[in-house]
Chains A and B, each alone.
Chain A
Amino acid sequence: MEIMFFELALTCYFAATIVCVMELFKGTKTTSRIMFSLVVVGFVLHSANIIARYVLSGHIPIANLHEASSFFSWCIVLLFFYLEYRYKLGLLGSFIMPVVFVLMLSSSMLPRKIEPLSPVLQSYWLGIHTVLAFIGDAAFAMAFGIGLMYLVQEHYVKSKHLGGLFKRLPSLQTLDEINYRLITIGFPFLSLAIITGALWAESAWGSYWRWDPKEVWSLITWFIYALVLHVRLTVGWRGKRAAILSIIGFSAVLFTFFGVNFLLKGLHSF
């Protein structure tokens, strides 16, 4: 049952991504309505999958990489709904749905078996730490999409060729401000995730910080976003530079999330 929900959600996201990409070439009210409905249906199925797994396993389903990746994209979609509702940015879907789809696709390719939780993970920290981390990461993913949009729009304005997506993309100021706001949301969540992680590590392994690769890369990510905020407030690195930094930051997020697991083995099982 839960597998079926997952596959259907994946299909919906895939279809939505196709529509999104098509929208870049020729967008009408109908295409964006179709896209949005697909995402809504996908999200409902996706939520059903997560609930089903929770019921089956008896713990919050963020215990392996498959579940984590799936939950990560679930958070992004949730944030996407919020931004659509709050700002109604044109073409946001086209820049963020591919990210959601790729995360879901990687999730689908990872082992899905529900295994009993290892004793280390059996803690209330599991829920708190991971949820905080993924809310932060979802905000960063969104900042990445918005940053891309900014770069595209900036390119149109700078090069003075106002064709293509120029008309349909939001204004530079809007994109820059939302990008900034997303990072100011993501950053405290990331900080809290690192702190709760340290507390959890202390209770599970007896020390707060063990220089595990995941810990190290989280810290690197944290420094990148701290830098983004710092240079913005002090020397006014906004606009293009902020957009580029938010893209670099998200690459670090992805590496922390996937790269560390595949390339550098550590204590984190995901």
Chain B
Amino acid sequence: MKTVVIGLNHKTADVDLREKLAFNGPKLEEGIRQIRELPEIKETVIISTCNRVEIYLTVKDVGKAFEAIKDFFVRFFEIRRESLDNALYLYDDMQAVRHIFRVSSSLDSMVVGEPQILGQLKDAFEFALERKTTGVLLNRLLKKSISVAKRIRTETKIAENAVSISFAAVELAKKIFDDLPEKTFMLLGAGEMAELAAKHMINSGVTNIVIANRTFETGCNLAKEFNGRAILFEDYLKELVHADILICSTGAQKYVLMKDQMQKVMKERKNRPVFIIDISVPRNIDPEINDMNNVYLYDVDDLRGVVDTNILERQKEAKKAEDIIEEEIETFKKWLSSLDSVPTVIALREKAEAIKKEEIEKLLNRLPEIGEKEKKAIEGLASSIVNKLIHAPTVALREDSEDKDIMIATIKRLYGLNGEDDDKK
């Protein structure tokens, strides 16, 4: 039985194709049922997110399974077969294990270290468990991939440090202020970026929101959306005295906040610190303001610089994560090989027992006159010969050695344990 991953992700397929192949809603239920019924497939889990559609399988014949899944895609999603050609990837065996580990720990994600994928993987696994489409192998593999992801999260800093501008702004705010929910947050101008940053701030607990926009009405609408308060644009300096965080993106072509204005504001607010984020291009706030005490001014480039260093940081951590994955692949391999030897040991013993039984019966038929005592002695002799003969190969099978695959194959061959081979002869 082999583990296989067949799928596509943001690197191999454009969003058009990913959308077409998404298992959403009832499609997942129906899809997993149909795949389960394919004769080439033994176990299956489907994970479908906006960045990837992947099917985890255990199969007997990888090539046949790949074709079967391709056929399934063509039939199920009503697409042309050619469109799959460059998009689908196939991993088998340890490559598949590595891939699943990398997915769960978000090394394969668009943003390395993002936290959603692990949850999505858990959901996909649970869904499959409920429908009983998994078996020993995938159960073990998926559980392992979840624990690997957790291990990587705690042992590396892969998920630390913001990698988006608005998150970086929130993180900075948290290092300047202690109690964000108590702080007043002011939005000067209402660009898309400003809105996004505002949403992140609100998610971090900010509740007092003041919005100043040139078009008062737009400001009002935004205020409704954010549960804030709209003010006249002209009043922003007055309000800035009470605001602790200011996000500015007015689209003005010159500075709307000058140093001398800010000095007055700071005097009035008794120097209480203020964090200003100027995400407008060209900049709207005099950069010299950053030289003032207790004023922290970041423009888009500054934030981008922060994000860039954070991304570098994450990449460094990703290397550590890859090492952990290699380590975990080894332990998984060990488990897998121990699994393989068990049926062989059982088959060997069964075969020996069968021969013993057969031969004893033959002998006893030829010697009807012997008594119970002799019968027992003959049976004892046969058992001890059989046991002694199969003892060594059984021990060898149970040992953890590098050439175990060969060992299993050899023993199967020597003792004729492979049912199909016997038939051919």
Please report A residues at the B interface, Cβ cutoff 8 Å. Answer: 153, 157-158, 160, 162-163, 166-167, 169-174, 176-177, 235-241
CB within 8 Å: A-B pair count: 56
A171 in complex: contacting residue of B174, B298, B302, B309, CB < 8 Å? B174
Q: Mark B258-297, 1 if CB is under 8 A from A, else 0.
A: 0000000000011111000000000000000010011010
Nearest residue (CB) in B for A160 is B302
Q: Of B45-53, B176-184, B227-235, which binds chain A?
A: B176-184
Check B273 against A241 for contact (C-beta < 8 Å). Answer: no
Provide the residues of chain A in CB contact with B269, threshold 8 Å: 236
Distance in angstroms between the alpha carbons of A166 and B305 in the assembled complex = 15
Interchain CA distance A239-B309 in the complex, whole Å: 27
Given contacts A160-B306, A163-B309, contact A171 B178 (CB under 8 A): yes
B185 → chain A closest CB, angstroms: 15
Query: Nearest chain A CB to B291's CB is how many angstroms away?
Result: 9
From the candidates A169, A170, A177, A240, name the one contacting B293 in the complex (CB within 8 A). Answer: A240
A157 to B277 alpha-carbon distance, docked (Å): 13
| Chain B positions near chain A (C-beta within 8 angstroms) | 160-161, 172, 174-179, 269-273, 290, 293-294, 296, 298, 302, 305-306, 309
Bound-state Cα–Cα, A167 to B171, Å: 9
Q: Are B172 and A157 in contact (CB under 8 A)?
A: yes
* Selected contact of A238 from candidates B176, B178, B294, CB within 8 Å: B294
- From residue A231, how far is it (CB to closest CB) to chain B in Å? 10
The interface residues of chain B lying within 8 Å CB-to-CB of A166 are 175
**If A237-B271, A239-B271 touch, does A174 touch B178 (CB 8 Å cutoff)?**
yes
B271 engages A171 (CB within 8 Å): no
B296:A238 contact, CB within 8 angstroms = no
**What's the least CB distance linking A137 to chain B, in Å?**
27
Given the interface contacts A160-B302, A235-B270, A235-B271, does A172 sit within 8 Å of B293 by beta carbon? Answer: no
Write out the residue numbers on chain B whose beta carbons fall within 8 Å of the beta carbon of A158. 290, 296
Asked if B175 and A238 make an inter-chain contact with CB atoms under 8 angstroms apart, the answer reads no
User: When A162-B306, A162-B309, A239-B271 are in contact, do A173 and B176 touch as well, CB less than 8 Å?
Assistant: yes
A-B contact pairs, 13 of them (CB 8 A): A158-B296, A162-B172, A167-B160, A169-B175, A171-B174, A172-B273, A173-B176, A173-B273, A235-B270, A237-B271, A239-B271, A239-B294, A240-B293
